[in-house]
Structure 1
Amino acid sequence: MSRLPSASLGLGLMLMSMHGASVAAGFALSEQSGSGLGNAFAGAAAVAEDASTIFFNPAGMTYLQGRQAVGALNLINVRGDFDNEGSIAPSGRQAGGEGGNLGSFAAIPNLYYKQDINDQLKIGVGIGSPFGLKTEYDKNWIGRFQAIKSELKTVNINPSLAWKLNEQWSVGLGVSAMWAQAELTSAVNPPSLALSESSIKSKGQDWGFGYNLGAIYQVTPDTRLGLAYRSKVDQHLKGQARSPFTLANANPAGTLNTDITADLTLPETLSLSSFSKLDPHWELLADITWTHWSRFQALSIMRDNGSNTAIGTTQERWNNTLRYSVGLNYLYSDSLKLRTGFAYDEEAIDKQHRTPRIPGNDRIWLSFGASWQYSQQTKLDIGYAHLFIQEASIYDDQRALNRGLVAGKYNGSADILSLQFNHQF
């Protein structure tokens, strides 16, 4: 009971600081571990190096002895710009610019705690942000009637249990309570040119629930395989839409100021990982992760004031994705481990349905990191990754909806720096 105030304070700080800046496919966040970042998260479901395994594969807790606490801070800087190639503003409205840097900076923490019940049974809890996003353009850019700001924040609380069945097999399971908040803003183009253009902000939040399962098989004393599954989480976001443009407020089917709902399914993932100790100095890690992004076909924001019509519906039609990664560790000494990793991360977005809100594309990760065993109880990890994001073309024609045409190309990149503190009690 004496730990409850500090746990509540930690959750409060997480809720205040979670700020999405997606660098994985769709709006997923891979940054759940400072130690894993140095390997581009290769082998994450099998390596079981510290308590962050609670997120990647809870079965990995059976490879850890005693009580362990892990805290990490992930600093993410995403840069992106739009090159206009024939965009058209709605008739009678100013064209505007190219939107400036649509990326953002984010600081995302992770917290984990694990302890033994006995030699075979382990428990733990993790707190992190599995999904997040933020894109924001200049308010006067040419595509403002389609998007200005798009932001998703999540906090996932993940208590977990692991059981060592025998010398070969370990299994684990966890439950997830996930808070999500989404905010979307755009310009509003009134039907009459005699009226000035306005704006609308839609914001909602909800708690959703899911689970995760994992297993690790020790093939040989130096090689193990991990399989991990995280379920989908259905979010029924509730909130409000607010706009200075109020001429339609007498008509519930047309008003922009109203309570709103929006359904969002955060997709399930399946990961297969391997970890091999090649000799006393070298370790090889690999991973392939599948994400069920095809669940995200459309996003509709529905009025909740007596009508059931949509303020707006965006067709997404995303595809399922695969992420491939490989990593290598070099044990320089008993206290220093050097890491590197490479990953190819497919984007979920079909280029024919790319929108200004999430204009992503395939990306390549190049990662480096190090672990320093400062003392018998304390270890420090640092990881760095640069993401090369492929150029993305867009042709989003919403002239029939009086929102204009966005046509051109996006260029972007991202840098991630993670610092992690591990303490063995």
Structure 2
Amino acid sequence: MKAATSLRIVSAVVLGMGAASVHAAGFQLLEQNASGIGNSYAGSAALAENASTIFYNPAGMTRLPGVNVSGGATAIRPSFKFKNDGSTVPGSTGGNGGDAGSWGVVPNAYISWELNPNWYLGLGIGAPFGLMTEYEDDNWTGRYHSKKFDIRSVNVNPSIAYKVNDQLSFGAGVNWMRLDAEFSRAVPALAPNGMYLGDLDATVKMDGDAWGWNLGALYQATPATRIGLAYRSRVKIDADGTTRLRNHNVPSPYAAAVPPRNANASTTVKLPDSAVLSVVHDLNSQWQLLADVSWTGWSSIPSLDIDNGALGQDSLDLRFRNTWRVALGANYKWNRQWTLKGGIAWDQSPVHSDNHRPTSLPDNDRYWVSIGAQYNFDERTTVDVGYAHLFVKSTSINNSAAGKGAVRGDYDSNANLLGVQLSYRF
């Protein structure tokens, strides 16, 4: 087996970091609270209704008197169903892989503290990147591109905010982020004469951590209109780990020619920066309107260059583009206890070419439709429930790679989100 084949296994793991999310463009998770699901996260940088504003806009803490805590979780079920249309692979052509989506849970926890009427401190913990894709059929057609990817992230976000006056506030934070990833795919074992012998299983485990920062501003333009602007920096992750090659179904006596191998793996990836402009407008005592325009700098990942030690270098061409997201929402205050929520959004994908769409990230533009409700037990305790369905455009793929074959066909994809958030003010 050639060294370059092993290197391509390593490069796939970093690509796989975006594998599981269809609920946010690329592999970003918007679900850093559950209270925003019902509005499709419209108004996220201006709403500041609980301590989760620490992630979306730390300046929003100045709207939260006393000590505030908020925590919740979002259950996400993406679906990726592939239909083959002319794929060619080194070994035997397998099935369509079943549904590559699987359940994932995104937790969050926040606390904010009013030091005095002008200064506020906060701490947020969330998971801004992650989830998983896993093809049900271990011998599916695209198994040489990917079989399973699982990524888990943790982001710890200490923050501070300053209230200049009743109209203007500023906020800032630092972020420590850790990524843990596991990726597996098949590798064809070929005899010297080119005859296909069977498959090896390649599994890569990598992890890394790094620091970033975020800024925010909140401006009360009129008694009824509030504007929020927030920015999150790029985070440069140096990840390393191990590639493990094992025999999957190579029969004797050929198995002796492909013994198990381990290799060190490392790479650097620049997770994208993002900016959001939000507006919240109180139309009257019952209706509140929300809007968002956000930008994500996915062009920070044009390619992935892999160092696999003595095995050499490899590069994966992604050509990610920068993306936009637009969201609109509304809240209706039914009575003192109940507020009803609704929202829609258009979410652009960084993957815009069939030739560069990987099986580990069968991503495309999507539309959000969401509903939710908020119940106030009293002046201190609030619970939010939200549900969203994501409609994904019909997604075609025509991805060819040396040693992996060509995956050609279409994906039928969608996602469902259901979340609960509990907030309390001391």
TM-score, normalised by the number of residues in structure 2: 0.90
- Within 5 Å, give how 1:101-250 maps onto structure 2: 101-137=99-135, 138-192=137-191, 193=195, 195-244=197-246
Q: Find the residue that maps to 2:70 and give its secondary structure.
A: strand
Q: Structure 2 vs 1, CA of residues 117 and 20 (structure 1 numbering), >3 Å: closer, same or farther?
A: farther
Q: Which runs of 5+ in 1 are unaligned?
A: 1-18
Contact 1:270 1:289 in 2 (8 A): yes
SS at match of 1:294: helix
Query: The residue matched to 1:197 in structure 2 has which SS?
Result: strand
Contact persistence 2:73–2:108 (CA under 8 A): yes
Distance across 1 between alignment mates of 2:221 and 2:257: 66
1:283 corresponds to which of 283, 288, 300? 288
CA distance in 1, matches of 2:317, 2:102: 25
Pair 1:262-2:264 in alignment: no
CA shift for structure 1 position 21? 4.2
* Conserved 8 A contact 1:20-1:106: no
> Does the CA-based 8 Å contact 1:35-1:420 persist in structure 2?
yes
Separation in structure 2 between the aligned mates of residue 72 and residue 205 of structure 1, nearest angstrom: 26
Report what 1:5 is aligned to: none
Please tell me the residue identity of whatever aligns with 1:390: K
The DSSP-based 3-state class of the residue aligned with 1:202 is strand
State whether structure 2 residue 365 is matched by structure 1 residue 362.
yes
SS of the counterpart of 2:92? coil
Distance in 2 of aligned mates of 1:72 and 1:32: 9
Question: SS state of the match for residue 208, structure 1?
Answer: strand
1:354–1:396 contact (8 Å) kept in structure 2? yes
Structure 2 residue matching 1:54: 3-state secondary structure = helix
1:118 shift after superposition: 0.3
Counterpart of 1:385 (choices 383, 388, 392) is: 388
Q: Distance in 2 between matches of 1:159 and 1:20?
A: 27
| Deviations, residues 353-379 of structure 1 (Å, cap 9, x unaligned) | 111110110000001111100122211
Q: Where does residue 97 of structure 1 map in the other structure?
A: 95
Q: TM-score, normalised by structure 1?
A: 0.90
Number of residues of Structure 1 aligned to a counterpart in Structure 2: 396
Letter of the 1:360 counterpart:
D
Structure 1 residue 154, shift from structure 2 partner: 0.8
Distance 1:360 1:339 in 2: 27
Equivalent position amino acid for 2:271 in 1: L
CA distance in 2, matches of 1:104, 1:368: 23
Q: 1:168 to 1:405 in 2, by over 3 A?
A: same
| TM superposition shift of 1:300 | 3.6
Match for residue 371 of structure 1 among 374, 377, 385: 374
Residue identity in the other structure for 2:414: S
The answer to whether residue 50 in structure 2 is matched with residue 47 in structure 1 is: no
Q: Does 1:340 align with 2:345?
A: no
Q: Secondary structure at the match of 1:29?
A: coil
| In structure 1, C-alpha distance between the alignment counterparts of 2:330 and 2:40, rounded to whole Å | 10
* In structure 1, C-alpha distance between the alignment counterparts of 2:165 and 2:285, rounded to whole Å: 25
Q: For residues 168-214 of structure 1, what are the alpha-carbon distances to aligned partners after superposition, in whole Å with 9 as ceiling and x for unaligned?
A: 11000000000101222110112313643111011100111100000
Match of 2:422 in 1: 421
- What is the CA-CA distance between 1:301 and the residue it aligns to? 3.6
Query: How far apart, CA to CA, are the structure 2 residues paired with 1:277 and 1:33?
Result: 22
What does 1:79-98 align with in structure 2 at a 5 Å threshold? 79-90=79-90, 93-98=91-96
Asked if 1:302 corresponds to 2:304, the answer is no
One-letter amino acid matched to 1:266: L
**Counterpart for residue 405 of structure 2:** 404
Give 1:292 shift.
0.2
Contact 2:54 2:60 in 1 (8 A): yes
Shift in Å, 1:94: 1.4
CA 1:79–1:143: 2 relative to 1, 3 Å:
same
